[in-house]
Structure 1
């Protein structure tokens, strides 16, 4: 190998310079033509490449059976290690080309030299020469050079062949690769091609030009360690290119004036680029003690130019059981969950009532319900209610009105309290089956049970809420019973009609209302009794009420005269019969 370097860098500089100065491109050093029969001579143990003819082809060995020929199908352009068994005749599939391959033992060559160079290093940026092995063994009639299966002449570069050697005027990094030297000679009237491989490596320089560069560790930062546990000392070093690259990297422990060499755990090297290698050197402190904290540690790297070193200290790693930020997040999360739990516990009844009354609707079978509407109210003295009248109740029927038109004989235009007007509209005008306490309930020991049963057998409970209503224990009992039934069954609906005499936050009844009633008054659906304020407000109230009410069975009306009694009021209406 050393002989090869001498030949490479110091031999033939004058001839190489003359070749390139004259820019003499000798594409052929002798006649060469494609023949139908070719003879190739190769050396056993070297890499070989079957010649290609125009396109990529496959050579088949002649005289070998189909089963055995699997190992002798040789594609041109595919390199393989030549063996003695490869000797023989080959042909193309078309049978128009033939090739005889003769494999020789290197030690029996007439001009065999043990020190013969088969690896050549060329300096990038300068000129270089690639010798043709065994060229002096024969009287050559011509030499052709290939890089892989492509002729060097196809690369369009300044080069020439002198004495069989390939001279490159300028060596580039891309010149690295395996070249083949085909020298032709005639023996006993047969033209032979002697193919020999040469491995070429382009190098940036023959020697290192700068000292190694240590990128890890950082000498300005102490390394954290845990007592009683192992610690890895890792050193990352970048070396400039050297022909005989033998990196020297070590870790030392500095104890006062002494320097102790640490055991090398591992050392890996790889080539990062054309001009640089990288070495990773690792040593391990098996168990860190307080004594290790008093020492310093030095990584030292050496090459032919200079030494480089980095020194680091060790410091004890302080464990944090819980980072302060993490504790803050946990406490905030805990408080949030606790707060939500408290809110849910305090507002659970309201949330239930909102969900049941507004979103959950069970399927109602009207035939199983005795009443469409259970109406609960407390009589109000007439002088306390503002002057409220229905819209015009006379004249031709108009189905655009929010109410079905009254007959002028009804005479209810003077009925002002909602306790009178609402039952009349629901039962006599809209035809709902109505349950009224003073009419359909008998006082007695089973009164409370009858009220609860009537609520269960009604589709909707309507409570006309006023200050008097919330001060009446019987009325509050009805509302409380309805709330409990609503929580048990999703088929019941509750509607509060608040009169203008009601102000929920100002109500101070004689006896305190049950908590369930106080909380339900805030969330149950309701309508404001504003009848008679404006014609638009009046129409909006009746439309909203009609929308909330359940759908009742179809009725058949028999026209006739009768009287309907509501307390002290009497009104004339039509007699209705139900099916």
Structure 2
């Protein structure tokens, strides 16, 4: 405090011409608050902490000798003012006296007289506390401290304020009621934590006193019955480090709420089952549901010895404990590691790409192998033909003469490719079976003398007499396992229900190659590769070898 200068004295004198007097009585060693009423714009509020008022209000105190002292605007002194209020924490007997708050903008003043009594002077032997703890979601009540000490005086009902705002029963806060000068809470919630002020009027020897008490309410959860939980590290955590570097180990722990106990976190160095305490810290979790803390342990320089040490983070409360561990490992050579990793990735990528290419070109690979490395399976098998070709003659009255039909495909296209280009020998009915014999016997004999039977499927085939050749081929293949069947789907056809069971089964399991009707020379490029894949393994003779083989007998 300091005395007024001439300017402040003039302003104070002007203010004193229009002022009111308010009387307060308080009990010592309790929190007390004085609002500057000249700044109150809301009648339902008694104080406002807004710093907007700091430059508007000034507080003065009149000493016993009549001198006026100006109170400093400093929040670390007692009393201190913030906003429009003067806080006493706590108020003492020597704080009794007259205080003046002045609104500098309007030159308005209010004189406030405070009479601070001890409990003995007030004849108050009841012990009361100005702080209250409520358990969240539990019921409770907030009583006006010290009011029972003045029960023999005439008093008016209590008015309650929460953080300076008038408390009333309302729909927005169900479960809160005002009864018997107390606030009753059916269930306490986190937002009920606040500073509550109770005001009432007391008449003592015809003197009207404003009585005020403050209760600081803190809503907390009930004490946790669980030990702390180490969130990081979980179990044992391996860290790669470089020797000589600075390292910070972080331990993240969640402690449950405990009102009257502190929680501890220790750091140990564990070597050969021996624990050396290197750091200790206390925590006070006061949030509902507990609180999470992070504590660091710093190694100024990682040494070789640290690589054989386990660093233990141990958290403990009154219920139990939990641990997390760090184990240090020498960091691998980054260049070598990256090189090895790149080689491994490249190898895997190469295998992957190679597998895709091999899958896509599997037939070409097999054909290449068969042409140069595989054994020729036609040598010494006593077969005359590489494949017997079975097809149906189309109905020329219904067929489109502009398109290739199955007979043209069988007698023109197949020999042109398989015989002229790849050296296979086909058995065609019109060309290689002499007329005049028994048809069925000639067909069966031709199939037996062939290594493969190529069936050209079309609607005319499955619905005509050519189905006999397929039945004979299936029966012969069951008797001679060296004979295999190849199905060429020349045109889509629906298989009749009247087919024998063996033939139906054969149509389902035998390899089937689809011919595409197209004028493009590359449309059926893959068709010929698949057909060659199912044909016998046979060394392909060059054009020069075939011409020489044809020329020699004519000379002879």
Query: Which range, TM-score by smaller chain?
Result: 0.3 to 0.5
When the two structures are superposed, what TM-score results if normalisation uses the length of structure 2? 0.44
When the two structures are superposed, what TM-score results if normalisation uses the length of structure 1? 0.42
Which of the pair has more CA radius of gyration? Answer: 1
